[in-house]
Amino acid sequence: MMRRGGPTVERFSLAQRVEHFVLLLSFNILALTGLPQKYSAADWAQRLIAVFGGIETTRRIHRTLAVILIAQGLYHLVAVVAGRKRPVRRHDMHFSLADVRDLLGDAVFLAGRRRERPRFGRFDYRQKFEYWAVVWGTALMVATGLIMWFPIIVTRWLPGVVIPASRVVHGGEALLALFAVITWHFYNAHFRPNIFPMDPAMFTGQIPVERLRHEHAGEFEDLKARGLAPPPSHPEAQAEGKSQTD
């Protein structure tokens, strides 16, 4: 079970948490209104579309949420660009060869072939993969979605085949995103035995120092070096945290 006591440090700002919540909401509603269109021959799909009140309303909901997601994506770009000059945590999501090494090292460690776990920074390779998958996936979904939404404008410049191709890509990418969220995000943020039923960091914005020390050792040391990390409160917290995460 998740330990809630002990000192914490901020992991996500309020703005980031709101962003995540908007993403969560739009992703789910887009999936709920999009998948029954992809699988329109299935019984469950027809029942779901009936719940929304027919295909026209389903599409209207889908497009409304798409606009919200696009707006959020644009906001995110602006926020990242505006925040890039900050001295601390600048390249948090920067993906590099070190992450590939971390992945391989972690796999070897988890398989029990090595005693030392790689020391992850603020975001480990799993979180970076997820982040970039969301960035890439959203860009692709927005592009293909807009092509289908405005076929007449698009075919002023592009050959028509991009429209049926976009339908395929939009559906394939949606399925990929859904499976990735189920096998990866749900596991890493909900079903991992030491955080089940969920990692509250994204909603409280805080992470216990004790957990940070184990799961993001690199960042913990960085914070300590800057004098920003409060020490873990009491010894048993330390002991328990250790047994959970090692």
Q: Which is nearer to another protein, 169 or 201 (CB)?
A: 169
Strand-pair category, 206-208 with 8-10: antiparallel
Candidates 27-35, 182-190, 203-211, 225-233: pick the segment binding another protein (CB under 8 A): 182-190
Cα–Cα dist 82/84, whole Å = 6
Binder among 1, 24, 50, 88 for another protein (CB under 8 A)? 50
- 26 vs 13, 29, 122, 132, 146, CA distance in Å? 20, 5, 26, 18, 16
Q: Is 169 in the site for another protein (CB under 8 A)?
A: yes
Contact segment (CB under 8 A) with another protein among 22-30, 72-80, 93-101, 156-164 equals 156-164
Choice from 5, 18, 28, 40 touching another protein (CB under 8 A) = 40
Whole-angstrom Cα distance, residue 240 to residue 14?
A: 29
Q: Taking contact as CB under 8 A, which single stretch among the options 5-13, 169-177, 199-207, 227-235 is the one that binds another protein?
A: 169-177
Site for another protein contains 180 (CB under 8 A)? yes
What's the gap between Cα 15 and its chain centre? 15
Q: Is 93 in the site for another protein (CB under 8 A)?
A: no
Contacts of 197 (CB under 8 A, 6+ apart): 190
Size of the site for another protein (CB under 8 A): 46
Residue 165 CA: distances (Å) to CA of 62, 92, 140, 168, 210: 20, 35, 12, 5, 49
Minimum CB separation of residue 55 from another protein in Å reads 4
Minimum distance, C-beta of residue 58 to another protein, in the bound complex (Å): 8
Binding to another protein by residue 75, rule CB under 8 A?
Answer: no
List interacting residues with another protein (CB under 8 A): 37, 40-41, 46, 49-50, 54-55, 103, 107, 109-112, 126, 148, 151-152, 155-165, 167-169, 171-173, 175-176, 179-180, 183-184, 187, 192-194, 246
